[in-house]
Amino acid sequence: MQIIITKNYEELSKEAAKIVRTRILEKPNLVLGLATGSTPLGLYQALIKMHQQENLDFREARTFNLDEYVGLAPDHPQSYNYYMRENLFKHINIKKENVFIPKGIAENIEEFCQQYEYGIKKRGGIDLQILGIGRDGHIGFNEPGTSFTSRTHIVNLDSVTIEDNARFFNNESEVPRRAITMGIGTIMEAKECLMLVSGAYKTEIIARALQGQITEKVPASVLQKHPNLTVILDEEAANRLEV
Ligand code: PGA
């Protein structure tokens, strides 16, 4: 595991973007796993800048997002489809047919989840997976207690997650209670993982995840077993890490 501690969120985002840029230059048709939420926003802005100023080319890249709320259509402003379009895809030259995001309004969710897994496999697996961490230790929307061998599946969101994500909605009651997420087994098969952690409120959970016991009670702790993991934290988030 490689740990990089940066002064602040801006530096964290720049460091993350440099890693993604290197991987795209090494492999233009990279299969990139993407995350949503507040943390990767700076990374996406930095990538957009690299595309605009240095012609960083996404034409051949393929992307798979970690998760999506059940019941939200792709054009719903709080859906992760919408988030990705607004915060990254519409500003770069990625091809629409190379973008994959779980379909929150799939008629048959079980079947959709299997297709999603198949879609990843068919493209050779994820080369680089971007990850955040929830205050309860979730990765993707894999909440505490999720099996380390889980594949893409439907989940019930924890109350902590609903509370944390309420800031994106008018109020807590609007937050969907269920989501589709890549499983922990799916995430662990990514050839490389890049986790981004920012802010004082993540300090306790990230210390438990990276330096505590490996347990399904802290889903992100599984990453201690990943052979190629980089974690970038800002100083606030790294406060309790023993380095
Ligand atoms: P955040 O979400 O980046 O908005 O803190 C992280 C997560 O829930 O995985």
What pLDDT digit, counting tens, does each position of 94-105 carry? 999 999 999 999
Chain centre to alpha carbon of residue 37: 8
CA of 221 from ligand 1 middle (Å) equals 16
DSSP string, 49-99: HHHHHH----TT-EEEESEEETT--TTSTTSHHHHHHHHTGGGS---GGGE
What pLDDT digit, counting tens, does each position of 23-81 carry? 999 999 999 999 999 999 999 999 999 999 999 999 999 999 999 999 999 999 999 99
Of 68, 136, 158, 234, which one is the catalytic site residue?
A: 136
pTM of the prediction? 0.98
Q: Minimal CA–CA distance to 231: which of 192, 201, 184?
A: 192
Ligand 1 site residues, Cβ closer than 6 angstroms: 37-39, 132-134, 138
Contact at 8 Å (CB) between 148 and 216?
Answer: yes
What pLDDT digit, counting tens, does each position of 103-119 carry? 999 999 999 999 999 99
CA of 134 from ligand 1 middle (Å) equals 5
Question: Does 226 qualify as catalytic in the annotation?
Answer: no
> d(Cα 141, Cα 20) in Å, to the nearest integer?
23
Of 68, 117, 143, 158, which one is the catalytic site residue?
A: 143
Contact at 8 Å (CB) between 143 and 219?
Answer: yes
Judged on CB neighbours under 10 Å (0-12, 13-18, 19+), 32 is buried
CA atoms within 13 A on the CB side of 190: 31
